[in-house]
Amino acid sequence: MLPPYRTHQQEIVEEPGSKLTFRAPYRLSPTELTDMKKHIEYLLAKGLIRPSTSPYGAPILFTSKPDGSLRMCIDYRALNK
């Protein structure tokens, strides 16, 4: 269950002289690709995310939950440097 929508906006403040961070997507298995599409469609339909034209990008990866289902994670390590 996701938390309720909040009205405040988040912003990334760039340091002067910083360069754009973009990482190529990780390869996904057919199961992961299907799960990713369903998860993104759900988040879009709920209004929790929106399409982006940002030059920044972070790859998606999956980890297994104890019940065997997949947890979608976003790898922000390169952006956080």
pLDDT tens-digit series, residues 13-31? 778 887 777 778 899 999 9
Give per-residue pLDDT as tens, 51-73.
988 877 889 999 999 999 889 99
The pTM score is: 0.66
Please name which of 72, 62, 65, 81 lies closest in space to residue 19, comparing C-alpha atoms.
Answer: 81
> Where in the chain are the domains?
23-47
Give per-residue pLDDT as tens, 32-52.
999 999 999 999 998 888 898
